[in-house]
């Protein structure tokens, strides 16, 4: 799949088939995350692959928006080290996006679920054994989509200006 095709075709999937993901595809998705750009090439991320259904259920129970995590056969937690880069959130976001795009290119569904609520993040970190000094940036359910997903975008002309800011508030 071409890069632009994956970018335009990626959807947030919240319903998954029960079939397992081949290990080769899982490794390709993780490789994509590993090859994300990062500030000064610090690569301040770690990936936790969550295959255990009990652990996924625990994560779903403490999640505000990720109750569907239990449906996916796998979830990938993207953990960042706030001291490991001068832009750890942006670096982790790039790794997360690479994972999402690779999943799409490999015929897998995924959804970026964040831990923006510190209460959820603390509970999820405890479940996953993440040290206090690290951040759980995202939790990505991964599997074969049981839905199509849909998306629209505003026209490009509404979001592109040349040489200066071109929009009035």
* pLDDT tens-place string over residues 26-47: 999 999 999 999 999 999 999 9
What is the reported pLDDT for 45? 98
Percent of the chain topping pLDDT 90: 84
Contact 50, 59 (CB under 8 A): yes
Q: What is the DSSP letter of 134?
A: S
d(CA 169, CA 159): 13
Contact 124, 136 (CB under 8 A): yes
Q: What is the CA radius of gyration of the chain?
A: 17
Range from 5-9, 96-100, 115-119, 127-131 carrying the lowest mean pLDDT: 115-119
d(CA 66, CA 24): 26
Range from 70-74, 112-116, 139-143, 160-164 carrying the lowest mean pLDDT: 112-116
Domain topology for 3-158: NADH Oxidase (3.40.109)
If DSSP codes are grouped into helix, strand and coil, which group holds residue 123? Answer: helix
Q: Provide the token pair at 21.
A: 């993901």
Would you tell me how many other CB atoms lie within 10 Å of the CB of residue 108?
Answer: 24
If DSSP codes are grouped into helix, strand and coil, which group holds residue 145? Answer: strand
Secondary structure E strands in the chain: 45-50, 74-80, 109-110, 113-114, 135-143
pTM for the predicted model, two decimal places: 0.94
* 133 pLDDT above the threshold of 80: yes
* 169 pLDDT above the threshold of 80: no
Q: Label residue 116 by pLDDT band (50, 70, 90).
A: low
Q: What is the mean pLDDT of residues 125-148?
A: 96
Q: Provide the token pair at 129.
A: 């054994």
pLDDT, tens digit, for every residue of 57-95? 999 999 888 899 999 999 999 999 999 999 999 999 999
Q: Label residue 115 by pLDDT band (50, 70, 90).
A: low
């Amino acid at each position: 799949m071409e890069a632009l095709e994956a970018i335009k075709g990626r959807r947030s999937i919240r319903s998954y088939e029960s079939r397992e993901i081949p290990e080769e595809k899982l490794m390709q998705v993780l490789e994509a995350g590993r090859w994300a750009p990062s500030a000064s090439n610090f690569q301040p991320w770690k990936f936790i692959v969550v295959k255990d259904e009990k652990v996924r259920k625990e994560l779903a129970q403490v999640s505000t928006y990720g109750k569907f995590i239990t449906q996916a056969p796998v979830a990938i937690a993207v953990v960042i080290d706030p001291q490991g880069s001068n832009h750890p959130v942006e670096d982790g976001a790039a790794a997360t996006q690479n994972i999402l795009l690779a999943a799409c290119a490999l015929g897998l569904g995924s959804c970026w679920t964040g831990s923006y609520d510190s209460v959820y993040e603390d509970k999820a970190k405890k479940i996953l054994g993440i040290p206090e000094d690290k951040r759980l940036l995202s939790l990505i359910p991964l599997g074969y989509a049981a839905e199509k997903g849909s998306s629209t975008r505003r026209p490009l002309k509404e979001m592109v200006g040349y040489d200066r800011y071109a929009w009035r508030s």
